[in-house]
Structure 1
Amino acid sequence: MLSIRRVLWPTDFSQGADRAFPHAAALASWHDAELHVLHVTEDQGTEASDVDVPISESTLSGLLSADGDPPPHVDLGALPLVQEQREHDSASEAIVGYTEEHEIDLIVAGTHGRRGLQRMLIGSVAEEVLRTAPCPVLTVRGEHNNTPAWAVRNILVPVDFSDASLEALRHAKELALTYGAQITLLHAVEEVVYPSAYGVEPANLPGPQVIDRVEESLAELARTEIGYEHVVVQANVGYAPSTILDYAETNEVDLVVIATHGRTGLERMLLGSVAERVVRRAPAPVFTVKSFGKSLLPDADAS
C-alpha cells in the first residue's frame, strides 16, 4: 500500500468539494491515516457559507452516502479528524501552506469550486494547488456521477516512458492493490506533421508494426513494474490528451493516474502539459503524481 499518513480535504462546501469527500475518507480509512478538513475564507465579497467548521459528523455522513450506500469500511467515529478554518487572500496559497505545515501526504480536492467554470479548470483553486503542492493530488469533478469512491475497478495509466510516467505507474500499482482494480497502460503514438514551409512530404501514419512494438514495450513494463495478471496494454494513434480522454470515456475508467509532466513539461509547471488537459476534462477522478514532489511509495518512505 501507499505510505499515506495524512490526507487533506480542502472544502468550499461546493458540489465538487462534496463529491471529493468520500474519496478522501475512503483512502484515509484504508491507510489508517488522519483526515484533515480545511476551509479557507477569502475576503472577496462572496456570500458566506451556512456550514461551519468543524463540520458535524452527521453532515459528513451525509456526504459519504450522497451517491448511495456509504463505504462499508469507513467509520467516521473512529477516523482521526483534524478540522480547521483559515482566513487568507488566496485559498490555494493557504491550502499549500497547510500542506507543508502539517506534512500532508495526499490532497483530495474537487476541481470545480465557487470560481470554477463548466469543463474548465484554468484559474481555479484546484489548478493552482496542482501546480505548487509538494505532494500528489487527487481531483474529483463535481458534475459527473462518478463510480463510488470505494468501488474503483479500472485504473488508466498514460505512459510516455519518461521517468515521471514510470513513477505514476508505480503509484497506480499500489492503488490497484488497495482497490482490487485492473490497470490499463496506454501510450499515444502521435503523428508527425511538418508545416508546408519545411518542404517535407507528410510522414506516413504509424503502422501496425509500430503499434506492435509499443505494446510489446508496454507489456514488458507491466511485467517488470507490476508483475501481476490484471493488466491491459494499449497503444493508439493520436494526440495524447485526446487519446487518453477518449479511452477513459469509452472504457468505463474509474480512476486516471498520471504524472504532472513527461517529456514536454517544465519543473513546477502544469499549464500546457498533457496532465493539465486530462485533469480538466477526464470523466473520472485523476490522481496526479508530482515529479518534483513527495513520493508515496512504500520503499520511498522506508528510505
Structure 2
Amino acid sequence: MKHVWMVGYDFSQHSSALVRIAAGELQPQSGKLVLLHVYQVPPTPLSFNSMHIETSYLHQTELSKSIEEEASKGLEKVLKTLQAEFPSLEIVFLVKAGDPSKVILEKVEQLGVDRLIIGSHSRTGIEHFFLGSVAEKIVKHSTVSVLVVKHRDDS
C-alpha cells in the first residue's frame, strides 16, 4: 500500500522545513506527498445597496482567483525543487479557499491521507479564545495520525 502524507503549507520557512522532513522520511517508502495551501479571502464590508453587494461579490471572486494563482505559482516552484531532490516520491500540490481546519480535514478524507504534518503558531490569551488554533481543531477531529511541529521561536 502506497503511503499518502499531507503537509499543510503556508510558504513560511517553517513549513518548508516540514516538507523536507516529511519528504525525507517518506522517500524510502516511495509514497505520495501532498502539499496543501489553504487561504481565506478577507471579507469585504456589505451595504444594503444591491449594486454594492454585486460589486463586493465580484471583488471577492477576483481576489480569490488572484490569491489562488499566486499560491499555485509559488507551489509550482517548490514542487520542481522537491521533485529534483526527492525523485522517487510522487509530489503534488493543492490550493484551496476556506476555513483551514475544515479544508484540511476534508482533503485528508478525500485523498486517503494516512499521515498529516502541520506547523503550529502559538496563540495565547484573547487571540486563542476567539480564533482558536487550527492545529488544535485538526488534532481534535482528525481520523489519521497528525504530527504537529511547533515553531522554534514560539515559547
Alignment TM class, shorter chain as reference: 0.7 to 0.9
In structure 2, the CA distance between the partners of 1:232 and 1:289, relative to structure 1 (3 Å rule), is same
Q: 3-state SS of the aligned residue for 2:33? A: strand
Q: Which residue of 2 aligns with 1:244?
A: 104
TM-score by length of 1: 0.40
- Per the TM alignment, residue 184 of structure 1 is displaced from its structure 2 partner at its CA by 0.5
Q: Which residue of 1 aligns with 2:60?
A: 204
Q: Which residue of 1 aligns with 2:15?
A: 165
Work out which structure has the larger RCO, using CA pairs closer than 8 Å and 6 or more positions apart in sequence. 2
* AA aligned opposite 2:96: N
- Per the TM alignment, residue 182 of structure 1 is displaced from its structure 2 partner at its CA by 0.8
In structure 1, distance between residues paired with 2:46 and 2:24: 47
Q: 3-state SS of the aligned residue for 2:60? A: coil
* AA aligned opposite 2:3: R
Q: Which structure has the bigger radius of gyration?
A: 1
Alignment of 1:118-157 (within 5 A): 153-157=3-7
* AA aligned opposite 1:163: Q
Query: Which consecutive residues of structure 2, in runs of 5 or more, have no partner in the other structure?
Result: none
* Identical counterparts, % of pairs: 23
TM-score by length of 2: 0.73
- Per the TM alignment, residue 225 of structure 1 is displaced from its structure 2 partner at its CA by 4.2
Q: 3-state SS of the aligned residue for 2:137? A: helix
Q: 1:176 aligns with which of 26, 36, 61?
A: 26
In structure 2, the CA distance between the partners of 1:208 and 1:194, relative to structure 1 (3 Å rule), is closer
In structure 2, the CA distance between the partners of 1:291 and 1:217, relative to structure 1 (3 Å rule), is same
CA RMSD of aligned residues (A): 2.7
Query: Which consecutive residues of structure 1, in runs of 5 or more, have no partner in the other structure?
Result: 1-150, 294-303
In structure 1, distance between residues paired with 2:64 and 2:9: 19
- Per the TM alignment, residue 223 of structure 1 is displaced from its structure 2 partner at its CA by 2.3
Q: 2:79 aligns with which of 207, 210, 222?
A: 222
Q: 3-state SS of the aligned residue for 1:165? A: helix
